[in-house]
């Protein structure tokens, strides 16, 4: 166990950040799953910018890697374009 006040505080803040990051990452994963189940192309096209923004935001804060965000955005765009 840590002995210094600053290391105890660092442990507390790391735990808080870890929980916040897990929550945001899980929220995005759930949003992607819900997006993939949208049956209408018109609805998916309307929601695509919001999904892109969400992925960019969590990549900017290093919750996911920027290349993973780019791959996910590409996958979503391809999915929408292949809809009928």
Evaluate whether residue 57 is within a structural domain: yes
Evaluate whether residue 13 is within a structural domain: no
- Cα–Cα distance between 54 and 8 in angstroms, integer? 33
Evaluate whether residue 28 is within a structural domain: yes
Evaluate whether residue 69 is within a structural domain: yes
Q: Which residue has the higher pLDDT, 84 or 6?
A: 6
% of the chain beyond a pLDDT of 90: 95
Query: What's the pLDDT tens digit per position in 28-61?
Result: 999 999 999 999 999 999 999 999 999 999 999 9
Domain extent for 53? 24-82
Evaluate whether residue 73 is within a structural domain: yes
Split into its structural domains, the chain has a count of 1
pLDDT higher than 80, residue 1? no
pLDDT higher than 90, residue 2? no
- CA 18 to each of CA 15, 24, 50: distance values in angstroms, whole numbers, following the listed order: 5, 10, 24
């Amino acid at each position: 166990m840590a002995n210094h006040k600053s290391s105890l505080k660092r442990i507390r803040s790391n735990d808080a950040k870890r929980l916040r990051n897990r929550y945001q990452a899980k929220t995005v994963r759930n949003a992607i799953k819900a997006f993939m189940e949208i049956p209408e192309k018109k609805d998916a096209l309307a929601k695509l910018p919001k999904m892109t923004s969400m992925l960019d935001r969590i990549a900017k804060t290093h919750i996911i890697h920027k290349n993973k965000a780019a791959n996910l955005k590409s996958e979503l765009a391809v999915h929408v374009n292949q809809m009928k």
